Structure 1
Amino acid sequence: MKQTIWKLENKIKDYDWGSIENIPKLFGFKNPSQKPIAEIWMGDHPLGCSLAINKHNQKIRLDDLIKNHPLEILGTRTFKQFAALPYLFKVLSANKALSIQVHPTKINAQQGFARENQLGIALDDPRRNYKDPNHKPELIYALTPFKAMRSFRPIHEILELFSKINLFSLNKEIDQLQKNPNKQQLRQFFHALLTLPPEKKHQGINQLLESIEPFCDEPYLTIKTLAKDYPNDIGLFMPLILNIIELQPSQAMFLSAETPHAYLSGTGLEVMANSDNVLRAGLTNKHLDIDELLKNTQFKSLTLNELLTQPITQQNKIDYPVPVDDFKFEIIKSDNQQRVEKVNSPQILFCIIGNITLKTKFDTLTLTKGESAFIAYEAQCYHYQGEGVLAKVFN
């Protein structure tokens, strides 16, 4: 191949939870449609495939480019293990909460995908749980203060939070958790909440909102905020059960399969295995499959200080280690000194800020903030120079 690096034109997703202005303000571009810009997808996922732009300004779908030159672009190792680009990279900006969700393990995704295919459930059917046979571990890196819920709180903490409010309609369920503060009972408690009969659910939510009226601290503040967008949703109980965390810019958090979570507000970079499998637990009008959700949820309690990924800094690079093969994530700080970067797998680079020039054997390309590039394995290495910060995704 005579070209090994391409600027990308990426797919914008205008989900209603996105912000009209956050991403445009951060990266200095216009939004003439005035639709929410919730996510920008960088990768070859069929629901939002990037276009690769060659040196003659011609565009080709990234998935087609990879199919045309699989070994040159992926390299033998990635091709043998994944046969495709194994990750999806996104800019994500939440103006209101996303649904509470978990993602399946690989084996559960494979079995679920095959089962739903056998049942003849169309891929675009709203009852469909499994869009593909892959798992979806993910990492979120904060560009602005980024608020999220994730993982179950320690059970004693859950009980303490419920004890501060008067939920007469849930006394039986709370008492059972009090008597048996273990994973199995936490699972039963979670299941009981998600399957409350409509009248009892309505009663419980009313009692919850009345009881927290005097409180102005967390997690009650988050419940009040969520109630504005999801007034009769069972997800309003989840801030009492899941940890609430606000990442500061440059902090990151890895979410393994079966981890309940919801992004609440803020802008960040998200990288994940190349999958779209989501099982929901609230804050949504979409399909809830409670049995499948429970089968794919780990009822493991974590404390706040266990939630962040601890970065490793080496010279001008910060690595955020993750326990999966599908993707790796690094931040590169460029200080105008020319440096060289090895290429051991296909890479996507996103320019967070600045103006950085990339050079391979055949190509020269400059990225400014908000722009991205795809680099083929065959490049082997590239030089970069300029003032700015790059996010690098590879595997």
Structure 2
Amino acid sequence: MSSSDLPSFLLMQNPIQGYDWGSHDSLTTLFGIPNPQSKPQAELWMGAHPNGCSEVTLAGSAQKLSTLIDAAPAAALGDATLARFGSLPFLFKVLCAEKALSIQVHPSKAQAEAGFAKEEAAGIDIKASNRNYKDPNHKPELVFALTPYQAMNGFRAIPAILALFDRMALPALADLTAALRQSQDEAGLQHFFHQLLILCGESKDEALAGLLAYAANHQDEETFALITSLATQYPGDVGLFSPLLLNVVTLQPGQAMFLDACTPHAYVRGTGLEIMANSDNVLRAGLTPKYIDVAELLDCTRCLPKPDDQILLAPRCDGAVQHFDVPVPDFTFSVYPTGEHQLTTASAEILFAIDGTVHLKQGEQSLRLEKGQSAFIPAATGSYQLLAEGRVARAGNRC
């Protein structure tokens, strides 16, 4: 297939992942996407991921986006993206959390390459419950809030962690807290984090009982209200201590944050747009019944506090257009307001209509999107016109 055979714009049909933490009504409320069986709708995926590939229609026939890209890789992705990544390097989602997701850490690129090679050499099945690395890629992420969006992102300052544990004065954790007070550095925080992860038996039961009793009497504070809520979802999980260790933040609609490699984080509730490098690598750290490889997790976790002023990602504004710049080449993310915009691309793009009708035009070709719909734009499209009657999210990558 040549570039001349590719339409400038392709309407996408996107799969919905029904994970049990998903919302039952968010996609319907925001975008009119039906949910006739009232099942959880957790993530709407836009991209070419093998576990959930979008479809496009070409010459009257529906096909997977990955099939279209494979048939004309240079025209679809652009020469530079094809040479650098070999495939579409990002996955774009609408994420709708009704319950909290697990606390996660994603490895760096180098860690993912080494870990994947090690597990391949060891013969660990790719679907095995104790498999950590599904691919040799990193998984940085950006989330853009569509509704109030509660999350945890990075470690609190060590004095703030100590202040919270000192207030509770839990006898089962007295020695551990004292050790952190003596070593208020990366090694000390790693030791503290490690010991909480491996709490077991009577010590774990006593610590969690004390935590929940204290939280029940301090429901006017966001941190302790969150702990009580999480306890109904993940009873007995050591991850219930995570709001004391990690920064708790509620993004307001239109705010964004970047989640880098080696940073513990969790999405708690809310709906947002999420874009990430194309990877499945997740190391879990709590709030989950799934496998936790504590040793590998610690090797991949940067136990350094994340300052308050680094949690939100402020946009770079070009007039009313917002560009959310990230320190990785795998993806770019921008939000365009109502109006007419002349755009040019040298790599594949996905446009998502957030809250209004969108018209795309190039010469004789055009496509109309209603809110909640998305379009794949091949690199060969080059320049095109965007007419927006509401906000439009633009996802791509750096060449």
Name the TM tier (shorter chain).
over 0.9
- Asked if 1:88 is matched to 2:98, the reply is no
Give the CA deviation at 1:175.
0.5
Q: Which of 157, 165, 169 is the equivalent residue of 1:162?
A: 165
Query: In 2, are the aligned partners of 1:245 and 1:304 still within 8 Å (CA)?
Result: no
Distance in 2 (alpha carbons) for counterparts of 1:90 and 1:111: 28
Q: Provide TM-score, normalisation by structure 1.
A: 0.97
The Cα offsets for residues 99-139 of structure 1, whole Å up to 9 and x where unpaired, read as 00000001111111111111221111111111111000000
Q: Which of 269, 274, 279 is the equivalent residue of 1:265?
A: 269
- Asked if 1:331 is matched to 2:349, the reply is no
The one-letter code matched in structure 1 to 2:108 is T
Give the CA deviation at 1:293.
0.4
Query: In 2, are the aligned partners of 1:317 and 1:332 still within 8 Å (CA)?
Result: yes
Partner residue in 1 for 2:19? 15
Partner residue in 2 for 1:132? 135
Give the CA deviation at 1:231.
1.1
Distance in 1 (alpha carbons) for counterparts of 2:11 and 2:248: 37
Q: Which of 383, 386, 394 is the equivalent residue of 1:384?
A: 386
**Map of 1:1-395 to 2, 5 A cutoff?**
1-2=4-5, 3-54=7-58, 56-216=59-219, 217-335=221-339, 338-361=340-363, 363-395=365-397
Give the CA deviation at 1:340.
1.4
Q: Provide TM-score, normalisation by structure 2.
A: 0.96
Distance in 2 (alpha carbons) for counterparts of 1:314 and 1:390: 15
Query: In 2, are the aligned partners of 1:166 and 1:208 still within 8 Å (CA)?
Result: no
Distance in 2 (alpha carbons) for counterparts of 1:139 and 1:10: 20
CA RMSD of superposed structures (Å): 1.1
Greater shift in the superposed pair: 127-136 or 205-214: 205-214
Distance in 1 (alpha carbons) for counterparts of 2:19 and 2:301: 25
The one-letter code matched in structure 1 to 2:141 is E
Query: In 2, are the aligned partners of 1:4 and 1:362 still within 8 Å (CA)?
Result: no
- Where does structure 2 lack aligned partners over 5 or more consecutive residues? none
**Secondary structure at the residue paired with 1:219?**
helix
Greater shift in the superposed pair: 189-198 or 244-253: 189-198
Distance in 2 (alpha carbons) for counterparts of 1:58 and 1:304: 50
Give the CA deviation at 1:4.
2.7
Query: In 2, are the aligned partners of 1:361 and 1:379 still within 8 Å (CA)?
Result: no
Distance in 2 (alpha carbons) for counterparts of 1:178 and 1:314: 46
Distance in 2 (alpha carbons) for counterparts of 1:353 and 1:386: 10
Give the CA deviation at 1:215.
0.5
Distance in 2 (alpha carbons) for counterparts of 1:281 and 1:387: 42
Distance in 2 (alpha carbons) for counterparts of 1:273 and 1:29: 26
Identity over aligned pairs, percent: 45
- Where does structure 1 lack aligned partners over 5 or more consecutive residues? none
Query: In 2, are the aligned partners of 1:41 and 1:48 still within 8 Å (CA)?
Result: yes
The one-letter code matched in structure 2 to 1:82 is F
Query: In 2, are the aligned partners of 1:279 and 1:288 still within 8 Å (CA)?
Result: yes
Distance in 2 (alpha carbons) for counterparts of 1:311 and 1:386: 20
The one-letter code matched in structure 2 to 1:374 is F
Distance in 2 (alpha carbons) for counterparts of 1:87 and 1:373: 15
Distance in 1 (alpha carbons) for counterparts of 2:208 and 2:265: 20
- Report runs of 4+ in structure 1 exceeding 4 Å deviation: none
